[in-house]
Chains A and B, each alone.
Chain A
Amino acid sequence: MTRDITRRSMLKTTAAIGAASALPMIPFAAEAGDDIIVGGLHDLSGFIDFAGIPMNQIMLMAIEEINAAGGLLGKKLKGAVYDPQTKMPLYSQFATQLALKDKASVVMGGITSASRETIRPILHRYKTLYFYNTLYEGGVCDRNEISLGTTPAQTVEKLVPYSMGLWGKKVYTIAADYNYGQITAAWVKRYVEQNGGEVVSTDFFPLDVTNFGPTISKIQSAKPDMVMSVLVGTGHLGFYNQWAAAGMKNEIPIASTTFGAAGAELEILKPEVANGILTCYGYYPSIDSPANKEWVAKVNKRYPDKTPLLSELSAFTWEGMMIWADAVRSAGSLDRMKLIEVMESGKTYDMPSGQCAIDPLTHHAIRDVYIADLQDKTYIIKKKFSQVQPADTQLVCNLKETPNANKHYEISLE
């Protein structure tokens, strides 16, 4: 234990570690020139890169597609892609850079609510139009942001009565212990009670919990007709494995508005663990419509290797690009307010996910949602609901009355 370290051996060791950890992930920034700059802020590394990489791939695909059709206003689009690495200081740095240095016309991105609330006020302040394309807990009220992802009121409202009709009225909720989980669990309770059912218990789990033994025993003793899972993240994956290992998979069914949202659970869990879980989202790759089949084929053609996982997140990123491009064409301008006015005009867009419109009062999507049953890594769509309103955000936000709002409301159902 008294061995000295020589300068050379120290240098060698640290150089080896340094060289090996410098991963080739250098963000490339576009110079503002004649091109129209489209900013992309998705986590391309870090613990949610499985969500960010497909979103970025699809955004770049949309840029190529718009350019191939002649660009916008006679100009080409150019992507300015940064990797915030799931780190909030990088998010704020890159958002500022996109607004001030790159002079981006529009910014797509932000995945977690934390990252959205980091960049949303920055882009609001610098008047740079912002599209947030991820499902989240609802409540953003900001005329500068278009939120395309589903919110709990859109998915929970449909999934709860549907699954209660299949399985019964006694529901046990297990949820992640942060605002998304808390808010969604409150919506579950509301809709279960509205449908004449009962939530026998709601258990919350910090994101780093990996052992679900006690909960599984508690669920067994409560004997619910179904379990509603709002579990989030890789720590919580353990629940599904332990549930199947305890032999519960064929005893009590599970429904979820979070399972497989970005596709990771689908990849990591074996089919014998995940089969039969009922989910509800605004997009599934198996949607049986010509628009979706064409789009899926396009994605496969563009990315024959490393085909991105298609989920709400990636599909809505493409839709965000198309809605924005349509607004630029109709307005004949890149002026932010003119684009916002076009998008607030109540237009309905035909998209791979179905029909989608922007609610002028909340800037959230009014969209079709689907319920699907997972079997062997494929979603079998059971039911479609047309034009579902973002009823949760509509409770707290009215951009006609308060056009300068710049806030994320925590929607309370107490």
Chain B
Amino acid sequence: MDYSLVVAIELLREVAGLILIATGLAVIFGMMRVINIAHGEFMMLGGYTVVLTTKWGVNIWVAILILAPLVVGVFGILVERLIIRHLYGRIIDSLLATWGLSLFLIGFVTVAFGNTVEGVSTPFSSFSVGRYSIAIYTLFLIFAAIAFITSVYLTLRYTKSGLIARATMQNPDMVESLGINSKLVYMATFGIGAAFAGLAGGLLAPISGVVPGMGALLIGKAFITVVTGGAAVVAGTLSASAILGSVSQAVTFATGPVFGDATLLFVALILLRLLPQGITGRIFTRSV
């Protein structure tokens, strides 16, 4: 009984982990069709923001929940202005440019802050489930993932800016003719996607440790989740994370992490063979 509860919490945690790392990418890739290879490095910047500002005496929650998304969001807007806006509609070029950006960010952070900076320790303690003990931070990550998805859903579905964003992605010329500056919409969307990446990096910093190359460990799973999910940001991320996360984590429990990771790739392969447009290309097509 205790064990099944522990397994359930860990399954949820893996699903939540995928949601956290994929939401920012889903916003940028799903809505703007820009492949941001530097997404992992955006998360790394979020992690560094938390590590450095807490070292300077900032409260850890302020660092994670406010500074990390703020810094990376502003940085994202800069990147959009300087690089991405020249490359809309040119998917391969944007891929190459953001790959270059990713290498540059790794190099820059290594030179500026070194390959080793002291991390932050995980806030909260742990609680017991029978003879198991689990970090309270694990539950916090699950709630953060729920908050991620809910906020994106509510914004896109029920606010005017969400409506404008969706309209711009569908038909920018029509939106322009209605008097809305589509460039601003793109800029804001990219900035928000980057802010989600920064927040994810900040949330993961206390449990994963922060190094310049950490983005590379996260980007693969983030992309697989977004591509498997398909075009709809919320329904896609949610369904892909739920399927991939729970199946791979269940296999990890049964056999170990090697087969867990392999299963994640295998399930994604099958899903994409059956649903080349992603899950939301066929199912939940009317969702956001």
CB-based contact B207/A23 at 8 Å: no
**Residues from 193 to 213 in B contacting A, C-beta threshold 8 Å:** 206-213
Main secondary structure of the interface of B (DSSP, over half): helix
CB-based contact A20/B108 at 8 Å: yes
How many angstroms from the CA of A220 to the CA of B135 in the assembled complex? 13
How many angstroms from the CA of A218 to the CA of B108 in the assembled complex? 39
Residues in chain B near residue A277, CB distance under 8 A:
none
- Within 8 Å of chain B (Cβ to Cβ): is A401? no
How many interface residues does chain B have, given as a range?
35 or more
In chain B, what residue has the closest Cβ to A4?
Answer: B86
Residues in chain B near residue A264, CB distance under 8 A:
115-116
* A19 to B: closest C-beta gap in Å: 10
* A8 to B: closest C-beta gap in Å: 11
How many angstroms from the CA of A246 to the CA of B261 in the assembled complex? 23
* B54 to A: closest C-beta gap in Å: 11
**Residues from 169 to 184 in B contacting A, C-beta threshold 8 Å:** 172-173
CB-based contact B131/A221 at 8 Å: yes
- Within 8 Å of chain A (Cβ to Cβ): is B80? no
CB-based contact A17/B101 at 8 Å: yes
CB-based contact B121/A244 at 8 Å: yes
CB-based contact A13/B131 at 8 Å: no
| Chain A: interface residue total (CB-CB under 8 A) | 53
How many angstroms from the CA of A13 to the CA of B220 in the assembled complex? 27
CB-based contact A246/B126 at 8 Å: yes
Residues in chain B near residue A223, CB distance under 8 A:
131
Interface string of A336-353 (1 = CB under 8 A from B): 000000000000000000
Residues in chain A near residue B111, CB distance under 8 A:
23
* B33 to A: closest C-beta gap in Å: 8
In chain B, what residue has the closest Cβ to A266?
Answer: B116
Interface string of B236-265 (1 = CB under 8 A from A): 000000000000010011001110110000
- Within 8 Å of chain B (Cβ to Cβ): is A273? yes
How many angstroms from the CA of A247 to the CA of B124 in the assembled complex? 10
- Within 8 Å of chain B (Cβ to Cβ): is A245? yes
**Residues from 12 to 61 in A contacting B, C-beta threshold 8 Å:** 13, 16-17, 20-21, 23, 45, 47, 49-50
In chain A, what residue has the closest Cβ to B204?
Answer: A210
- Within 8 Å of chain A (Cβ to Cβ): is B39? no
Residues in chain B near residue A273, CB distance under 8 A:
121
- Within 8 Å of chain B (Cβ to Cβ): is A205? yes
Residues in chain A near residue B220, CB distance under 8 A:
208
Interface string of A126-162 (1 = CB under 8 A from B): 0000000000000000000000000000000000000
Interface string of B108-141 (1 = CB under 8 A from A): 1011001111111110111000011111011000
How many angstroms from the CA of A237 to the CA of B119 in the assembled complex? 10
How many angstroms from the CA of A337 to the CA of B213 in the assembled complex? 43
Residues in chain A near residue B137, CB distance under 8 A:
245
- Within 8 Å of chain A (Cβ to Cβ): is B103? yes
* Residue in contact with A50 in the complex, picked from B116, B132, B134, B257, CB distance below 8 Å: B116
- Within 8 Å of chain A (Cβ to Cβ): is B17? yes
CB-based contact A268/B210 at 8 Å: yes
Assuming A17-B104, A213-B10, A217-B6, is B208 touching A237 (CB within 8 A)? yes
CB-based contact B207/A241 at 8 Å: yes
Q: Which of B103, B120, B208: most chain A CB closer than 10 A?
A: B208
CB-based contact B88/A238 at 8 Å: no
In chain B, what residue has the closest Cβ to A10?
Answer: B86
- Within 8 Å of chain B (Cβ to Cβ): is A198? no
CB-based contact B135/A246 at 8 Å: yes
* Residue in contact with B138 in the complex, picked from A213, A234, A263, A267, CB distance below 8 Å: A213
* B220 to A: closest C-beta gap in Å: 8
* B100 to A: closest C-beta gap in Å: 6
CB-based contact B110/A45 at 8 Å: yes
How many angstroms from the CA of A215 to the CA of B14 in the assembled complex? 13
Residues in chain A near residue B138, CB distance under 8 A:
213, 245
Interface string of A256-270 (1 = CB under 8 A from B): 000000011001111
CB-based contact A246/B134 at 8 Å: yes
Residues in chain A near residue B97, CB distance under 8 A:
13, 17
- Within 8 Å of chain B (Cβ to Cβ): is A168? no
Mind listing 7 A-B residue pairs with CB under 8 Å? A13-B82, A208-B216, A213-B138, A218-B253, A221-B132, A238-B207, A238-B208
The 8 closest A-B pairs by CB, nearest first: A247-B126, A245-B135, A237-B209, A245-B122, A267-B116, A1-B88, A5-B86, A238-B208
Known: A245-B207, A263-B116. 18 other contacts (CB 8 A): A5-B87, A9-B86, A20-B108, A21-B104, A23-B111, A205-B257, A208-B217, A223-B131, A234-B214, A237-B208, A237-B211, A241-B121, A241-B207, A245-B121, A245-B137, A268-B119, A270-B118, A273-B121
